[in-house]
Structure 1
Amino acid sequence: MSQSFTCLSCRVAFANADIQRQHYKTDWHRYNLKRKVIGLPPVTAEDFQQRVLQQRSKEENESRDTSTYCKACRKAFSCKKAFDNHLNSIKHKSAVSLLSFNGKENLTLDDISSPVENKKDQAHNASVEEGSYIEDIEEVDSDEWDEDDDAISEDNPILINNCLFCSHHSGSMTKNLKHMSVEHSFFIPDIEYVVDLRNLLLYLGEKVCKYNMCLWCNTSGRGFYSMEAAQAHMRDKGHCKVLHEGSTLAEFEAYYNYALSYPDYVEGMDVDEEINIPELDTDDYQLTLPSGGVVGHRALLTYYKQHYSSNQEVVKKRNKLQQVMSTYRALGWKETDREIVTRKAKDIRYMKAVQSKMMMKLGVKANKLQKHFHAKVTV
């Protein structure tokens, strides 16, 4: 009786031991072993090959559908839904109209989109098309480009609570700031004087995603081809911080209020606001007296008689800025020295004075553009 070599997992027999050992190294055998562990019967070699072909075709279709590149805007999208939303955006439609204005009258979806290539190919294509793209820019009205610069990019990571330095997603802006502080040692400079935290983060996100800039190198550093390259540079070089000194103070002026450091500052006071004498405030249903008392209309007597128990009082949510500051303090952060803050406030006032002086000189020069000046002759 001849000796037989079998595989119990695949339920097949072999002529010799060498073929059996080769079978144990195949994907078909591994697949049947996994099915045996979960209690499923084995599949034949023909069925296994058919399943492999189906899986490959499915992966090819998914990669073709989920990875799309817009040629008109020169942007890559990771999923089909994001690409469809981009096609309906005003920015994309203006780019397509610009292409049609330059000679491409009938544009189809295949003309403005293509499967995503690797990052090196995208960077190469962007550099090759740069010359023709500059010509397109010259033909667009300057007002349209100003409006486009002021708009928030769709790829801004802060809009979806993503990290500025990696692809981590958080449930809220506070959790996002906590992640950036713990993982990347990112702290907002002079956060106790910030008056517009969200717009400050959106502005930083625009610098990273739209202009591919390093927050620390700012304009003095080299440029990057993509947002991912800028993020990798900041992580590798330890540049996960904001340059907030010298001439860059004027860049963040709209998001800070250093008047909070003044000794006579009162919370809610506007430094440039004129003082108004309190007047009698009235509307159709109530009258507010100068003393602060409110006289209500008799039609609202039912509502004025309502009383709520103390345990039903509304508790105000903590300010997001206070939550972020408490997180910073837990990580060892300390408030900025008063002398440094005073010096920054003086620098900002000085830059404002220089700017207003330059604007005045420009206005004076604008009044001297006439070619001939005729002096008044009095008789």
Structure 2
Amino acid sequence: MSATNTQPVYLTCITCRLAFKDAELQRLHYKTEWHRYNLKRKVVNLPPVTLNDYLQKISKEKTEKEETQKDKRVYCEPCQKLFANVNAYDNHLNSKKHKYNDKVYLDRGDNMEIKSKKENTVNSYQVEKEDMIEEVDSDEWDDDTENPIDNDECLFCSHHSKNFFKNLEHMTIVHSFFIPDIEFCTDVQGLLRYLGEKVTKGYMCLWCNESGRAFRSAEAAKSHMVDKGHCRMLHEGVTLAEYVDYFDYSSSYPDVKDEMDVDEEVRKLWYLV
């Protein structure tokens, strides 16, 4: 009798080309800036970067920014003090001592001439400061990080409801959204929050999941789901493991022995072929 060959089945992130042993690691990965950065690269048909390359990129940008600001000395004329960089000067402007000296400075001598000189200095400083603002990479966009479920807002449109249950009712009636096997769902609110994370942080279609196209923003993902009739969650095949923490099917197995941990047995199934 030949032995049965078994091997683990891993959950994956196609975008970053990673494999995970459990759904929790996969969910945590979806929330990382590294994953979001690769999603944005995917939109413009660029290959993903490894975690090491991403960390090196962030470190390099931080170093370059610090070097740029290091030699930008700024002089405060009212206080007659030289500051090593713009950040130090910005902090100084909010100090009580500077505000007092600034008032005295304006009241001294020919006020109109001094005020005019100050306006020119401020305008010059503002231009210099704006020039120092780091340019956004061509593959970066504004973040849509606020979870709509926390604000009782729809996952698919901008509708705002009075409470969580009204919000769920709206999504059901207007968008035909439903929770599969809801009688076995143990944490409806937690599940919807997770779906909200996928839309607002992962820019993902809940039905296409990772197999679909990448989107530039949460709004683009929402428009796609509405236009394509994808206002529903994929809950079949390997994606069942992704939502395992929100469902409990133990009550559907009445013949299972009392001493058997059904949840543990279900989890083991995902690591068998």
TM-score normalised by structure 2 residue count? 0.48
Choose 1 or 2 for highest CA Rg. 1
| Larger relative contact order (Cα-Cα within 8 Å, sequence gap ≥ 6) | 2
